[in-house]
Structure 1
Amino acid sequence: MPPRSRPASQGSRIDRVLLRCRRLAAVCGLLLLAACERATPPLPNDAYVWQRRWTPALVQALNDSAAMLRSWRVLAAELRADGVWFDAAPDLAALAASGRPVVLVLRLDGRVGDLGEAGIAERAAATLAAWRGAGITLAGLEIDYDCATARLPAYAALLASLKPHLPPGLPLSITALPTWLNSPALAGLLAVPDETVLQVHAVLNPAQGLLFDPKRARAWLDAYARRTDKPWRVALPAYGSRVAWDEHGRIAAIESERPALMPGDRSAELLVAPDALAAFVRALDHEPPAGLTGIVWFRLPTQADTRAWSLPTWRAVLARQPLAPALTVAANPPGPGGARDVLLANRGNADTPLPFAVRLDPRCDAADGINGYTLEYDRQGRYLRRAQDGLLRAGAERAIGWIRCDCATPSLHVQP
């Protein structure tokens, strides 16, 4: 029999149902894709504990931050340029109590010529044994040797001689520099360790005024991914440095761990804004280079470390939480003589750059700046101008000057 034809109304109903099914399938596909993207876990975080002095503030930071980290990478000792070892003497009990695995780090000054393979192997073995005896769960040994590119073959030989002396199954890692990327000897070096950490901060000339450049860092990461077939991590900064130059334009000193007075006719603060690093990390989470397995933060901040991010800001970046600084400016009640302190305050969860200027009330008849701010004048009147870059940490206040005004509530305005 010939097939029966469907009524036109019945066919149109079937077509509408099929169309709705196709649309529903497309929506479900998009939702499934979005769910998969959201389910992609962020890169795990490690942290360098690089401080030479273990203070109560450092131990507190260790305890407060351990739950957010995969492991610690702790400076144990440094072979100085003169061939003498310096022991950092970390608090082993505090490390064990933190409950995190530890990568023991030996630093070799980049100017060391005679590596003394036997002495380094003995130092590594003795320190590893002492730390394991203190109840620390060891996750590896790391060598930090910022040598010149010409020294890479000698460095590879050191690592090859060191590796057989490590406890069975203990991984060996090294730090790597972008300056090594174009060296033919890099392949031989990277063939020895089990893992590497590429440092992309503090590798530019300080005269450029940059501690970290996101575009260059991403280019270095992509280039490094093409040079290694082993797991690797990237070291990112959570600190600032003060650089001083002498009268001849030569670097006189670099200070990253304390706000000390330094020699030199001029100086500058090299800073990395937390929101810039947060954006960089989000991009890495979304599209990591091949082989990248995590981030190592340099260094663990403490509440007493004025050249590092605040702990709330650092933890917010680690947790991929939104950063929200809240900058305000106000004048204290008048003191003796009628002078009022001008206070900047940050009530948010993120450290924020100090504002360029704070405009003063025209009714103020006297004023001056302090703590990195100077009094300036223009057509609009007086203002306090930032003379030195810096960050105002989350929850912190900073006096930047004083004013004397006849009015009860002086008007003050921040100019970013």
Structure 2
Amino acid sequence: MIRADLIKYSLNSLRARKRRSFLTILSVFIGIAAITTLISFGQGISAYVEQISQEMGNDKLMVQARGFGFGPPSLDSNVRMDETDLDTIRSVKGVSEATGMYGITGEVQFNDQKKYGYLFGSDYKNYRKLLEEVFALDLDQGTPLRGNEKSKVLLGYNYQLPEKIFEKPIQLRDKILINNHTFEVAGFYAAVGNPQDDSNIYITKDAMESSFAPENYLWMLVRAAPGVNPTELAEDVKDELRDHRHQDVGEEDFYVQSFEQVIATFKSILSIITGVVILIAFISVFVAAVNITNTMYTATLERTKEIGVFKAIGAKNSAILFVFILEAGVLSLIGGIIGVILGYLLSSVAGTAIAASGFGVFTPLFTWQLVVGSLVFAFLIGALSGLLPAYQASKLKPVDALRYE
């Protein structure tokens, strides 16, 4: 038999056993669908992190006190970081610029509705670019804040959506109350991709100090000078701050991290989580592989006489081996194709639903490499699962096979 005849024979054998083939395919496509869905979300999050990393740049550091916490009615920390700490940071060799950022939780009132929101105050006059790069903020509509403005705010993207924060969307030049202080809406930032950041409120440093009198900075943002390694600069800043605050090594009450370190840590955690979840999904693939092996053993027993006839008319062991491995591989490949289609539909529907809730960071990314890789993986799983039954079938002796009942 020539190879084309062998392929035709294998496909006809699968069609002749539709029910068994369907059950085997079912076990495969569930596992492949789970794997492709999970990988597509992992790839989407990785792409988002990479995009944010590029927008932020790797030349920045963040300094923050230990023990700060978020939650109504205020953002609070037992550790104080003030202007003297900021001056110390600015004096470190290799620092291009540095600024502090205040943060409180405020009661926001609009049209007789009250909500809690995170309010951040920064030096927009001198460090607007640094601030917006660090938090990946782009103005969606309106005008940027000027440094001396004390009565205007910029709002996160969700404030301009109906039923998202307030029942009615806030418009440009609307008035809102924050802890009973009146502010006019100057503009809105574009969507960042998560409900928290898209619900923040931003005002100038002068507005924060005059209206709310915060006692200490929540964060200090630092940009490294061109050519300076941010990770090494983080250590230098840490050393200088430790000396300034009269602390010993290991007893620091603050953190200093480069954004490069933060992104690397996040990617590492993401890889571990993705790996664990995919490992769980592989359990269903393992079950499918066992099912394929069992199916091919059964097929071998049912077709023992056929194998004997083939061998009697001159079929080689390699031809028999090829037929059964091909059947197993095609079974698994069909399951893989259905699984990829189902995985695409699941990830698309889930991604749309999650994005509608404000978590744009969880947008799945379905690439052609994922599709091809999943199909190749499915075929190989089937072929390998059918290898042992195929080998045993190829070793049957014609006389014994023809006598089999």
TM > 0.5 fold call? no
Q: Which has the larger radius of gyration?
A: 2
Greater helix content: 2
The two structures have a TM-score, normalised by structure 2, of 0.26
The two structures have a TM-score, normalised by structure 1, of 0.25
* Higher relative contact order structure (alpha carbons within 8 Å, sequence separation ≥ 6): 2
